[in-house]
Amino acid sequence: MLENIELLIRICISISIAYVAGNLTSKIKMPAILGWLVTGMILGPHALGVLNSELLNEEWYHMFSKLLECAFGIMLGKELVFNKMKQYGKQIMVTTIFESIGTFIVVTLCFSVIFYFMNVPLYVALVFGGIALATAPAPSLSIVNEFKTKGPVTDSLIPIAMLDDVVAIIVFVGINSYVASKGSLDAGGSILDSLFLMVIVPLIIGVIIGFIVCPMLKKDRSQNQTFFFTIILLVVTFLIGYAVDNFILPVPSTNYMLMGMAVFATIANTVTQEKMHTIEKASSPILALSLLVLIMNLGAPLDYNLILGAGVLTAVYIISRAIGKYFSTRCGAKLTNAPFTVQKYLGLTLLPHSGVSLVFTGMAVASLSSFDTASAQLVQATISAAAVINEIFAVLLAKKGFELAGEMNHAEIEVSDTEE
CATH number of the domain to which 337 belongs: 1.20.1530.20
Q: Specify whether the CB–CB gap between 388 and 306 falls below 8 A.
A: yes
Q: Let me know if residue 17 belongs to a domain.
A: no
Distance between CA 242 and CA 343 in Å, rounded? Answer: 40
Q: Give the count of alpha carbons within 13 A of 333, CB side only.
A: 22
| pLDDT for position 188 | 45
Predicted confidence (pLDDT) per residue in 134-176, tens digit: 777 777 777 887 788 888 888 888 778 777 777 777 787 678 7
What angle, 0 to 180 degrees and rounded to 10, lies between the N-to-C axes of helices 32-43 and 137-147?
A: 130
Q: Let me know if residue 12 belongs to a domain.
A: no
pLDDT at 258 over 50: yes
Single out the residue of 71, 29, 22, 67 nearest to residue 296, CA to CA.
Answer: 22
Count of domains in the chain? 1
3-state helix, strand, coil in the chain (%, to 5): 80, 0, 20
| pLDDT for position 384 | 72
Q: Specify whether the CB–CB gap between 70 and 234 falls below 8 A.
A: yes
> How many of the other CB atoms lie within 10 Å of CB of 380?
17
Residue 221 carries which side chain, given as an amino acid letter? R
Q: Let me know if residue 383 belongs to a domain.
A: yes
For all residues of the chain together, what is the average pLDDT? 79
**What is the percentage of the chain residues whose pLDDT exceeds 90?**
10
Distance between CA 73 and CA 271 in Å, rounded? Answer: 17
Q: Let me know if residue 1 belongs to a domain.
A: no
Q: Let me know if residue 289 belongs to a domain.
A: yes
The larger pLDDT score, comparing residue 324 to residue 71, is at 324
Query: What is the DSSP track for 72-141?
Result: HHHHHHTT--HHHHTTTHHHHHHHHHHHHHHHHHHHHHHHHHHHHHHT--THHHHHHHHHHT---HHHHH
Distance between CA 288 and CA 295 in Å, rounded? Answer: 11
Confidence of residue 419 (pLDDT cuts 50, 70, 90): very low
| pLDDT for position 72 | 75
The boundaries of the domain holding residue 243 are 64-419
47, 108, 116 from 123: Cα distances, Å: 35, 9, 11
Distance between CA 15 and CA 299 in Å, rounded? Answer: 13
CA 153 to chain CA centroid, Å, is 17
**What is the percentage of the chain residues whose pLDDT exceeds 70?**
82
Single out the residue of 356, 315, 358, 304 nearest to residue 37, CA to CA.
Answer: 304
| pLDDT for position 328 | 92
| pLDDT for position 44 | 84
Angle at the Cα of 14 (from 12 to 18), degrees rounded to 5?
A: 120
Single out the residue of 415, 407, 395 nearest to residue 142, CA to CA.
Answer: 395
Q: Is 29 exposed, middle or buried (0-12, 13-18, 19+ CB in 10 A)?
A: exposed
Q: How is residue 219 annotated by DSSP?
A: S
Q: Let me know if residue 45 belongs to a domain.
A: no
Distance between CA 409 and CA 67 in Å, rounded? Answer: 29
| pLDDT for position 129 | 93
Q: Let me know if residue 31 belongs to a domain.
A: no
| pLDDT for position 413 | 44
The residues, any chain, with a CB within 8 Å of residue 338's CB and separated by 6 or more, are: 91, 95, 152, 156, 346
Distance between CA 185 and CA 162 in Å, rounded? Answer: 31
Predicted confidence (pLDDT) per residue in 303-344, tens digit: 666 665 557 888 899 999 999 999 999 999 899 888 888 889
Q: Specify whether the CB–CB gap between 165 and 72 falls below 8 A.
A: no
pTM metric for this prediction: 0.67
8, 53, 173, 249, 295 from 58: Cα distances, Å: 11, 9, 27, 22, 18
The residues, any chain, with a CB within 8 Å of residue 255's CB and separated by 6 or more, are: 198, 199, 202
Q: Let me know if residue 412 belongs to a domain.
A: yes
